[in-house]
Amino acid sequence: MDNFEPKIIGFYCNWSSQMGIDSAGVEGASYPPNLRLIRVMCSGSVDPEVIIDAFKKGADGVVILGCHLGNCHYRNGNYNALRRYRLLQKMLEQFGLEKERLRLEWVSVAEGKRFAGLVGEITEELRRLGPLRQFS
């Protein structure tokens, strides 16, 4: 898969993860351009239907970024994200979608470099998995 550039949709929350992504920029930590970022208010507000829609519309991978557990700006939102995401991952596996294609990560303001590393790692993982063919 030499020429394959995975398309990744990233839903990031307006609070910790936005600051973390910003830090990456400030610290000069670069990450692959494969990630297309969409800002949401809370990781818990990402509807499973929207995630499926992202895959349908051509995403090879979807990442949800939120505040660390216990630090959600809205108290419990990220727990909702965790529960829904895990169940969705399980169901999508039944559907033939590898669980590595859907990721949920907590990013704090101090983790700019870690965020950049994560994007690199996810991009390579998706490159290895190949394009998603489930929704052709």
Return the number of the residue (8 or 88) whose C-beta is nearest another protein: 88
Binding-residue total with another protein (CB under 8 A): 25
- Residues 42-71 as x/- pattern, contact with another protein by CB under 8 A: -----xxx--xx--x------------x--
Q: Are 106 and 69 in contact (CB under 8 A)?
A: yes
Antiparallel, parallel or unpaired: β 61-66 and 35-40:
unpaired
How far apart are CB 61 and another protein at their closest, in Å? 17
Q: Is 82 in the site for another protein (CB under 8 A)?
A: yes
- Residues 85-104 as x/- pattern, contact with another protein by CB under 8 A: xxxx-xx--xxx--------
CA 105 to chain CA centroid, Å, is 7
Distance CA 105, CA 111 (A): 11
110 SS3 class: coil
